[in-house]
Amino acid sequence: MSKHRVSRRQFLSYTLTGVGGFMAAGMLMPMVRFAVDPVLKASEGGDYVATKQKVDDLTEEPKRVDFTIKQVDAWYESEETQTAWVYKDDKGEIVALSPVCKHLGCAVAWNTDKSNPNHFFCPCHYGLYTKDGANVPGTPPLAGLDVYEHTTKDGILYLGAVKPHKGA
Amino acid sequence: MLNKIYDWVDERLDITPLWRDIADHEVPEHVNPAYHFSAFVYCFGGLTFFVTVIQILSGMFLTMYYVPDIKNAWESVYYLQNEVAFGQIVRGMHHWGASLVIVMLFLHTLRVFFQGAYKKPRELNWVVGVLIFFVMLGLGFTGYLLPWDMKALFATRVGLQIAESVPFIGTAVKTLLAGDPTIVGAQTLTRFFAIHVFFLPAALLGLMGAHFMMIRKQGISGPL
């Protein structure tokens, strides 16, 4: 017998707390799991989506390619237009860059800043990226533009998931 | 650890008397099922409160997904019930709890009635209790429309026509509830939602507060 005697009052208060806690947990657990569901939902892998861009028409000059994806937002399904900046690099390989600025998410565009030609430029805070999507040091963005995975089928450009920029 | 935090706060704010006033009071023998099992009839008021707490909690969580709009209401309910984890459980709690709270309320009312516990000096508490009953019925009526399915729509049509049958003010009351003289639609749904989640719960909390303060002040009625 341990020296630590539990009084009747203590025993009852522990038991009541335990039972009460169990009931409260049984009540709250489904609700909390219900509420945090968006965090735990598995994200869907990006399928390749056809654009209207013929691969042969791509040049070394980045070109704005708009394409539509089917977006499922819980009970709301819609078609959303997305943009990619696409060009062929020196080796003739296709590069498709996301237009979302890595600073605060504005949309960048090619060659729109007169004082910095041949750069991607973000008008919000004057972020700059070189042609390969690498951020120019000294401007607000801290990372390069994201890159779309891409593939070609029947001479048409298909774009897929967005991957982080590989360090220049 | 918890004790230390409690002591730290209590030393500064003297919170012990606050909760002792609320929580620390003896249950009379004739009300305690441990002495007389038949005393379980005294549990119905507390059970009503318990189910009400579940209703408030599950309702709060349901509004994380629900939209009170005629185009999206049904879709959002379908989504939260079928796509969200535990959606069926949380909605089920609210759905069944809504019926259960009426049942418990009714049993509590029967107990008070047949024991004559409403008699002087507790008449005011009876009146407040009846008001709580009406508020609960209102919550049931307005909540029934929110899933925006056929059953909800036609039940509300019927309910609104009952309201319309009141002499003189009936038509005005119906329009006030539905937001339109003839249509049960977009405005009805938003109104019912607002009434269901803001107005009636606020009234309910106030009335329940009064109900509990009165029973604490007057004490529970003596044995038969």
Q: Tokens representing B185?
A: 């639609």
Which chain A residues are closer than 8 Å to B24 by Cβ? none
A46 CA to chain B: closest CA distance, Å? 20
Q: List chain B residues with CB under 8 Å of A35.
A: 61, 64
Is A35 close to B61, i.e. CB distance below 8 A? yes
Report DSSP state, residue B27. P
Domain boundaries, chain B: 1-19+27-113+123-218
In a mutagenesis test of the B interface, which of A75, A76, A77, A78 is the best target, namely the one with the most B β-carbons within 10 Å?
Answer: A75
- Please state the rounded mean pLDDT for residues B4-9: 96
Report phi then psi at A116, rounded to 5: -130, 75
Nearest CB to A30 within list B75, B80, B90: B90
**Per-residue DSSP letter, B76:** H
CA B119 to the chain's CA centroid: 25
From A162's Cα to the closest Cα of chain B, the distance in A is 26
B200-218 and B123-145 helices cross at what angle (nearest 10)? 160
How near does any CA of chain B get to the CA of A79, in Å? 17
Is B57 near chain A, with CB under 8 Å?
yes
How would you classify the pairing of strands A120-122 and A109-110? Answer: antiparallel
State the Cα–Cα distance between residues B174 and B184, nearest whole angstrom. Answer: 10
**Complex ipTM value:** 0.86
Predicted confidence at residue A116, as pLDDT, reads 87
pLDDT tens track for B78-110: 999 999 999 999 999 999 999 999 999 999 999
> Under 8 Å CB-to-CB from A58, ≥6 apart: which residues?
A86, A87, A88, A94, A157
Helix (H, G, I), strand (E, B) or coil at B49: helix
Q: Which of B57, B86, B95 to mutate to test the interface with A (most CBs of A within 10 A)?
A: B86
Å between B73 CA and nearest CA of chain A? 10
Q: Which two tokens stand for residue B180?
A: 């339109």
Reported as a pLDDT band with limits 50, 70 and 90, residue B133 is: very high
Q: Is the peptide bond before B121 cis (omega within 30 degrees of 0)?
A: yes
Nearest to A34 among B61, B75, B78 (CB): B61
Predicted model pTM: 0.85
Q: Is A97 helix (H, G, I), strand (E, B) or coil?
A: strand
Mutate to test the interface with B, among A31, A32, A72 (most CBs of B within 10 A): A31
Report the CATH fold assignment for B1-19+27-113+123-218.
Cytochrome Bc1 Complex; Chain C (1.20.810)
Whether the CB-CB separation of A94 and A58 falls below 8 Å is answered with yes
Nearest CB partner across the interface for A37, out of B72, B75, B85: B85
Q: Chain-centre distance of CA A27, in angstroms?
A: 35
Query: How sure is the predictor about A168, in pLDDT bands with cuts at 50, 70 and 90?
Result: very low
Rounded mean pLDDT, B185-213: 97
Beta A156-163 vs A109-110: how paired, if at all? unpaired
Write the pLDDT tens digit of every residue in B145-190. 999 999 999 999 999 999 999 999 999 999 999 999 999 999 999 9
Q: Does A76 touch chain B (CB under 8 A)?
A: yes
Q: Taking a C-beta distance cutoff of 8 angstroms, is the pair B192, B145 a contact?
A: yes
Residues B76, B78, B83, B86, CA torsion sign: positive
**Structure confidence by residue, pLDDT tens digits, A8-37:** 999 999 999 999 999 999 999 999 999 999
pLDDT for res A1: 56
